Amino acid sequence: MRPGKNRRWLIGGALVALAALALAAAAWWQSGPSAEERQVVYSVPPGTVARMATGEHLDVLPATIALTLGKQDILVIRNDDSQPIQVGPFKIEPGQRFVQQYYNRGTFDLICTIHENERLRIIIE
């Protein structure tokens, strides 16, 4: 083979190897948990607000929810009740979902109308 042709083969081989490396890196990057696997889902059952109004103690949501960045960092609260609820500044109407993905570590204290003391703490680790 001529020297120019060897050089083209070498460059072509390097480009193929680089493309294969890029595909492998993309597959590795995407191999983390899916959005569904990263969700922590809580449901507010029908009748919760009415039962709480009568003074009944219910454990619908834990007082503290701990999430982990990159693993379980999406909080979903589904309102299956016929009454709206409040979580932080968000009013969640019947049939709606509150979905919040967290990107930074921290502790968040929120008002939550389905807790007796109206407090919900979310810890992101």
Run of H or E residues at 101:
strand 97-101
Q: State residue 20's pLDDT score.
A: 66
The token pair that represents 70 in the structure block = 């990159």
pLDDT, tens only, 28-74:
555 677 888 999 999 999 999 999 999 999 989 999 999 999 999 99
Q: Does domain 39-124 match CATH 2.60.40.420?
A: yes
DSSP string, 1-56: --HHHHHHHHHHHHHHHHHHHHHHHHHHHHTS--TTTTEEEEEE-TTHHHHHHTT-
What's the pTM? Answer: 0.71
Query: Is 114:58 a contact under the CB 8 Å cutoff?
Result: yes
